[in-house]
Amino acid sequence: MLTVNHEAVSVESDLAGGRLACPACKGRLRPWGWARERLIRHGTGTDLALVRGRPRRGRCAACSATHVLLGVDLAARRADTAAVIASAVEAKAAGGAGHRVIAAGLGRPVSTVRGWLRAFAASAGPIAEEFTALAHRDGADAAGLWPAPAPTPAGRALAAVAAYAGVLAARFGVATPAWQIAGLAAAGPWFFSAPWWAGQSQHGLTLTPGTPGGKGGTGAG
């Protein structure tokens, strides 16, 4: 899978122009049909909506591998948008709310929210480490973008990704993207996946800077 811009027109233009790189070999991706239909929950409360969509697929001109292209507002293997998952992480990291309270507020199953929080907590160490490095590498004044120290590993991870979101805003001259958008743009669609981060910590992780719109992000095939 590969994280791309959430606007279909932009994705088609990038595919046609050969501007999307294969995450396996860095070859150019070309249009290759669509993945199977997905049903994604958007919003919460009275704004909750179920949206059907078929992600675009790309095929590498060099190695022939195919990849599902997920918009930067979606995460791999999740039935909810990244914004909803992020709101649960924020409620836990910033306010210390329990998963049952968060689930009730979001209108999501308790088990689902508990899974999100456990996954982020399990990945907090490598997320904080990698995004701290990214912020210092790509930011002219990363220290000036850093929020107050966080008391928990998950809080520190969230702060590191938020700092990188500020770096992206300064670098590209745009409004600061939501932290989950920065996370998905840089790390790819498996950003909220604990097993993916565990694997990266074993073999080393080299993140390449994405953009707030999702172009240039990396992903796992």
Asked if residue 64 is part of any domain, the answer here is: yes
CA distance 98 to 6: 31
Provide the pLDDT for residue 149: 72
CA distance 142 to 138: 8
Asked if residue 65 is part of any domain, the answer here is: yes
Domain that holds residue 30: 1-71
pLDDT digits (tens, 9 = 90+) for 54-68: 999 999 999 999 999
Residue 165 has pLDDT above 60, yes or no: yes
Asked if residue 218 is part of any domain, the answer here is: no
Amino acid at 33: G
Say which residue, 163 or 141, is predicted with more confidence: 163
pLDDT digits (tens, 9 = 90+) for 169-210: 988 899 999 999 999 999 999 999 999 999 875 444 445 544
Question: Taken in order 68, 163, 103, 119, is the CA torsion positive or negative?
Answer: positive
pLDDT digits (tens, 9 = 90+) for 67-106: 999 999 999 999 999 999 999 999 998 888 999 999 999 9
- Strand ranges for 109-208 from DSSP E: none
Provide the pLDDT for residue 78: 96
Q: What is the pTM of this model?
A: 0.87
Residue 215 has pLDDT above 50, yes or no: no
Asked if residue 143 is part of any domain, the answer here is: no
Provide the pLDDT for residue 180: 97
Asked if residue 55 is part of any domain, the answer here is: yes
Determine whether 111 is exposed, middle or buried from the number of CB atoms within 10 Å of its CB (0-12, 13-18, 19+). exposed
- Where does the pLDDT of residue 46 fall: very low under 50, low under 70, confident under 90, or very high at 90 and above? confident
Amino acid at 94: A
Contact by Cβ (8 Å): 51, 64? no
Asked if residue 32 is part of any domain, the answer here is: yes
Residue 211 has pLDDT above 80, yes or no: no
CA distance 42 to 172: 28
- Where does the pLDDT of residue 164 fall: very low under 50, low under 70, confident under 90, or very high at 90 and above? very high
Domain count, the chain: 1
Amino acid at 211: T
Asked if residue 154 is part of any domain, the answer here is: no
pLDDT over 70, % of the chain: 87
Asked if residue 2 is part of any domain, the answer here is: yes
